[in-house]
């Protein structure tokens, strides 16, 4: 039996406030909403452009696809008193990364999908894209694991435009003129080839790549551009940056030692 996770009055108030604010500052264009099931558990897998995404994606799902949005939210966000109260009252799922609570959150998300028939939104990348051209990055395997464990469909959703509203790293949004936001939902990702397979690292990675391929293809359609052949890997980029910094520091130390030796010889 489906469980009611949200407070109806809080849900009504929050949805009206968000709708008013977003209609005032954005011009949304929604396509593919028919691909979102009208009922039953569904994973909404989408790219991450800006800190405004949760509002715009929720708007797309609630008004465009007629499904209540359930997010897995960072625990840091849940520590804000008003946000915490609203999140709990609207059925959102807190996540403490790197702790045993993250496992509990995954279990709660699984129950929300299978027991409560929720539409749960995930950002497989785990953070806003750092790709120089804002294409979707390499992703974590949690969404693929959840999809293959529960058997619920994964609907890929791509969007474009929030970077003009609040670019990643910016503190002040650009509210006017109204920003054009484009959303495109595709048919459920075909994961049939992985059914019955053991959930090894290689299987999960391959399934994750299939999900990200669909999201990227949808964004390419919105943008009318060709995506990169290889997705940006944030972990690899950070390791390469750290290695480059280490080499620069080593070169600087060698130059400093050389200068000191020269000065010592001249004294």
| pLDDT, position 96 | 67
pLDDT greater than 60 at residue 99? no
Angstrom distance (rounded) from CA 197 to CA 31? 33
83 and 70 assigned to the same domain: yes
Q: Which of 151, 203, 129 minimizes the C-alpha distance to 43?
A: 151
264 and 182 assigned to the same domain: no
91 and 163 assigned to the same domain: yes
| pLDDT, position 1 | 45
Tracing tokens 């028939």 back to the chain, one arrives at 117
192 and 218 assigned to the same domain: yes
Q: Which of 70, 55, 189 minimizes the C-alpha distance to 118?
A: 70
pLDDT, average across residues 241-246: 93
130 belongs to a structural domain: yes
1 belongs to a structural domain: no
Lowest-pLDDT range of 115-124, 155-164, 202-211, 256-265 = 256-265
Residue 180 vs residue 259, higher pLDDT: 180
100 and 178 assigned to the same domain: yes
| pLDDT, position 175 | 92
156 and 264 assigned to the same domain: no
H or E element in which residue 261 lies: helix 234-266
pLDDT, tens digit (0-9, with 9 covering 90-100), for 151-160:
999 999 999 9
Residue 77 vs residue 70, higher pLDDT: 70
| pLDDT, position 41 | 97
Q: What CATH number does residue 135 fall under? A: 3.40.1130.10
Show the tokens assigned to 212: 């990200």
pLDDT, average across residues 57-83: 84
Angstrom distance (rounded) from CA 174 to CA 167? 9
The pTM is what? 0.89
186 and 259 assigned to the same domain: no
Q: What range does the domain containing 237 cover?
A: 233-267
């Amino acid at each position: 039996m489906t469980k009611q996770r949200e407070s109806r009055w809080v849900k009504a108030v929050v949805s009206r406030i968000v709708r008013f604010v977003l209609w005032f500052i954005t011009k949304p264009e929604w396509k593919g909403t028919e691909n979102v099931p009208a009922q039953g558990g569904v994973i909404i897998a989408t790219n991450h452009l800006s800190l405004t995404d949760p509002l715009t994606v929720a708007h797309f799902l609630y008004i465009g696809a007629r499904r209540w949005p359930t997010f897995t939210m960072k625990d840091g966000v849940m520590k804000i008193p008003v946000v915490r109260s609203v999140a709990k009252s609207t059925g959102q799922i807190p996540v403490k990364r790197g702790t045993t609570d993250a496992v509990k959150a995954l279990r709660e998300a699984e129950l929300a999908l299978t027991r409560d028939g929720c539409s749960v939104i995930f950002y497989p990348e785990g953070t806003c894209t750092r790709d120089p051209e804002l294409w979707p990055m390499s992703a974590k395997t949690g969404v693929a694991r959840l999809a293959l464990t529960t058997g619920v469909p994964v609907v890929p959703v791509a969007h474009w435009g929030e970077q003009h509203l609040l670019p990643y790293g910016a503190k002040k949004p650009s509210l006017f003129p109204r920003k054009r936001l484009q959303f495109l939902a595709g048919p459920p990702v075909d994961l049939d080839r992985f059914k019955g397979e053991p959930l090894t690292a290689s299987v999960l990675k391959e399934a994750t790549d299939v999900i990200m391929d669909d999201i990227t293809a949808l964004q390419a359609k919105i943008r009318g551009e060709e995506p990169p052949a290889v997705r940006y890997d944030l972990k690899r980029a950070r390791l390469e940056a750290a290695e480059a910094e280490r080499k620069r520091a080593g070169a600087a130390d060698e130059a400093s030692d050389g200068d000191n030796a020269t000065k010592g010889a001249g004294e």
